[in-house]
A and B are shown apart, each in its own frame.
Chain A
């Protein structure tokens, strides 16, 4: 009986190909859009995670206990003793590597005008063990330790009409809460993945920054990377506890998810997009509902005949449901396939958001690479089949309620 119903359903689909195609395309477009949307969000999440871990906070960030409270006052003096802390970090399991970073707001004095910029003191040798630091070099080279050299974000250099070989005088507040200035040479132009970094940041050797800011051997923060599968929040608590018991000092040690609210927003956005997805499918499904209803009205004579010949209401529902389910399955399959195809292409070439993200302090790269998640793609497929099929139930039930006598009146 079921096989016969399926055959009938398939035959009915092909009987009006244009109508079935319209329904299928609606489902396909919805499914494709959702696959693309989720891939884009997946890409954004992965990109943000990489950027946050490489450039902003690490998997776990360690800084002075009071730093965050006074951050808006630029508390350069609230530092941590790097050597003492790393001796403790080296004994804790789950840590793969760490880097010291000192970020300081500064003014670049060029042609008698001051231009705001963010300086970052980094240990380039240690950075190479932490992430692919050479990848940021767009032109020139990385600065050498012990030398007054900087690598400057490409857009910042462009805005200030600076190039490799130029000398720049940098002014900043010191850890002694005074002011200081130092002249450094641009030896490299950087292409930081994050647009905001490109327009505002320069990196200099940590030892020169420590000297310039009168920080001795102290650093502003330590970024820690963890082994795969390590619970970052738990590790942060362990580090804080170990440091407290072994040095007697309290530090602000937190995982990257605890620090970066923006990432939580992305996670929240993803949840919201699941709901948006439902509406997408419901929208696509209205075409199916509409088509099915039209089919029912157009095939009233047939329904009446089938009912008169003894076909029950439930079987009629099943027949129309099967028709909807077939269209939904084919539409979803085609849509998901198209989504996968477009995503794989975009994941290779990327989508350039440079203009859209310019001037935004957002830890997302200017060029985004959508990332396909197999499980989410499967989910989208079944999800769209289920919603589109269920949407046909409504008009199908209507068909089941039609009395044969009334239906036969259309003959």
Chain B
């Protein structure tokens, strides 16, 4: 009788011990939601550079980017070869502005798959929003160490055809909720693009990726390093900056 009571008590104790850990464990959806939240700001001004390496060598293009939410951004290139060129992303389109062209170029269809300035970052990569849960079915595959950071490993399968990559495998830093590594594939599983965060940095209270390597597997001997030098978040930005009328200023 005594033994039975002891067993019941032990079972209860075990259950009590287990409750906090099951409550603490995040679901795949929660991880994604938290990551999307961490990577989206009301407004942001970013200064950085693209180091584009191909079979002919490495070239550097510098830029300043203004963004509002996850769907509006303007990138202006400041390096000599591309000075004055701008890329405007609005809610539904991407426009290119070239100082010597008398019209804006709207990117659509196959043109979206072109690399921005010949880099491994396509215009298509700039599309989509940060609400991945509405576009992908997410499965938590477990945990894995990337570099020296413990990460969640997640598999994402697109539920809509409007996304650039039907399949994604991403590794999210457990502590800072940054995507440290990503593999982006076709529906059949053929790898199209790889992303690796090489360095992270602290901007005020935020820890973000500062050096990211992007490789388009379709392009031989090619990689792009995206380096963030300066970041200001939640600063006032004139909303007109994201309008077509203001694009040529």
A177 within 8 A of B: yes
Binds A, one of B8-16, B19-27, B101-109, B199-207: B101-109
Residue B41 CB within 8 A of the other chain: no
Contact for A183 among B52, B61, B96, B103, CB less than 8 A:
B103
Say whether B105 contacts A169, CB under 8 Å.
Answer: yes
Task: Among B52, B59, B96, B105, find the residue whose CB has the most chain A CB atoms closer than 10 A.
Answer: B105
State A77–B52 Cα separation when bound (angstroms). Answer: 15
Known contacts: A182-B98, A214-B81. The answer to whether A177 contacts B54 by CB under 8 A is yes
When the two chains form their complex, are residues A171 and B81 in contact, meaning their CB atoms are under 8 A apart?
no
Given contacts A112-B108, A176-B81, contact A167 B98 (CB under 8 A): no
A375 at the interface (CB under 8 A from B): no
CA–CA, A179 and B102, complex, Å: 16
Asked if A169 meets B59 with Cβ closer than 8 Å, knowing A176-B81, A177-B52, the reply is: no
Which A residues are CB-close (under 8 A) to B102?
A: 167, 169, 183
Q: B56 near A: Cβ within 8 Å?
A: yes
Answer whether residue B129 sits at the interface, using C-beta atoms and an 8 A cutoff.
no
CB of B125 to closest CB in A, whole Å: 16
Given the contacts A70-B55, A114-B111, A174-B81, A179 and B118 also touching, CB distance less than 8 Å: yes
| Cα A178 to Cα B108 with chains together (Å) | 19
Do A179 and B55 touch (CB < 8 A)?
A: no
Interface presence of B117 (CB below 8 A): yes
B100 at the interface (CB under 8 A from A): yes
With most chain B CB atoms within 10 A of its CB, the pick from A167, A171, A179, A183 is: A179
* A151-182 residues at the B interface, CB under 8 angstroms: 167, 169, 171, 173-174, 176-182
Q: Mark B53-77, 1 if CB is under 8 A from A, else 0.
A: 0111001010000000000000000
Q: Judge whether A212 is part of the interface by a CB distance below 8 angstroms.
A: yes
Q: Tell whether A73 is near chain B: CB-to-CB under 8 Å.
A: yes
Total inter-chain residue pairs, C-beta < 8 Å: 58
CB-defined contacts of A75 to chain B, threshold 8 Å? 56
Q: Is the CB of B59 within 8 A of A181?
A: no
For the complex, would chain B's binding face be called helix, strand, loop or mixed by DSSP majority?
A: mixed
Q: Does B90 sit within 8 A of A, measured CB to CB?
A: no
Instruction: Decide if A273 is an interface residue (CB 8 Å cutoff).
Output: no
Q: Which residues of chain B have C-beta atoms less than 8 A from A112's C-beta?
A: 106, 108
Q: Which residues in window 23-60 of B have CB below 8 A to A? A: 52, 54-56, 59
Interface code B76-95, partner A: CB below 8 Å = 1, 0 otherwise? Answer: 00000110010000000000
Residues of B contacting A181 in the complex (Cβ-Cβ under 8 angstroms)? 96, 98, 100-101, 105
The CA of A109 and the CA of B117, in the complex, are separated in Å by 17
Please give, as numbers and ranges, the residues of chain B lying within 8 Å of A179 by CB-CB distance. 82, 85, 117-118
Return the CB mask of B233-244 against A: 1 if under 8 Å, else 0: 000000000000
Are B81 and A212 within 8 A (Cβ)? no
Q: Please tell me the size bucket of the interface on A.
A: 20 to 34
Contact residues in B for A171 (Cβ distance below 8 Å)? 105
The size class of the interface chain B forms with chain A is 20 to 34
Which residues of chain A have C-beta atoms less than 8 A from B118's C-beta? 173, 177-179
* A73, B108: Cβ atoms closer than 8 Å: no
Q: How far is the CA of A177 from the CA of B106 in the complex (A)?
A: 21
A112 to B100, CA, bound (A): 17
Residue numbers in B under 8 Å from A114 (CB-CB): 111
Return chain A residues, CB-CB under 8 Å to B100.
Answer: 148, 180-183, 212
> Are B101 and A73 interface neighbours, CB within 8 A?
no
Using Cβ atoms and an 8 Å threshold, which residues of chain B touch A169? 101-103, 105
With a cutoff of 8 Å between Cβ atoms, the chain A residues found around residue B81 in the complex are 174, 176, 178, 214
Interchain nearest-CB distance for A110 vs B (Å): 10
Question: Which chain B residues border A167 with CB–CB below 8 Å?
Answer: 102
- Residues on A with C-beta less than 8 A from B52 are 177
A177 and B59 form a contact (CB under 8 A): yes
**Which chain A residues lie closer than 8 Å to B103 at the CB level?**
109, 169, 183
Determine how close the nearest CB of chain B comes to the CB of A243; give it in whole angstroms. Answer: 23
Taking CB atoms and an 8 Å cut-off, the chain B residues in 177-216 that contact chain A are: none
- A212 CB contacts on chain B under 8 angstroms: 100
- Closest B residue to A173 by CB, please name it: B118
In the bound complex, CA of A77 to CA of B124 (Å) = 26
Tell me the chain A residues, 22-43 only, with Cβ under 8 Å from chain B: none
Binary A-proximity of B102-141 (CB < 8 A = 1, otherwise 0)? 1101101001000001100000000000000000000000
A177 CA to B101 CA, complexed, in Å = 18
What are the residues of chain B within 8 A of A174 when measuring CB–CB? 81
Q: Give the CA-CA distance A170 to B55 in the complex, in Å.
A: 26
Taking a contact as CB atoms under 8 Å apart, the answer to whether B96 and A73 are in contact is no
Task: Tell me the chain B residues, 152-186 only, with Cβ under 8 Å from chain A.
Answer: none
Most-contacted residue by chain A among B52, B55, B81 (CB, 10 A) = B81
User: 9 more A-B contacts (CB under 8 A) besides A73-B55, A109-B105?
Assistant: A75-B56, A109-B101, A173-B118, A176-B59, A177-B54, A177-B59, A177-B118, A181-B101, A182-B98
Task: Please give me the 3 A-B residue pairs with the lowest Cβ-Cβ distance, nearest first.
Answer: A176-B81, A181-B98, A181-B101
24 A-B residue contacts at CB 8 Å?
A70-B55, A112-B106, A112-B108, A167-B102, A169-B101, A171-B105, A176-B59, A177-B52, A177-B59, A178-B59, A178-B118, A179-B85, A180-B82, A180-B85, A181-B96, A181-B98, A181-B101, A181-B105, A182-B98, A182-B101, A183-B102, A183-B103, A212-B100, A214-B81
Could you list which residues of chain B lie within 8 angstroms of chain A, going by C-beta atoms?
52, 54-56, 59, 61, 81-82, 85, 96, 98, 100-103, 105-106, 108, 111, 117-118
Q: Contact residues of A with B, CB < 8 Å?
A: 70, 73, 75, 77, 109, 112, 114, 148, 167, 169, 171, 173-174, 176-183, 212, 214
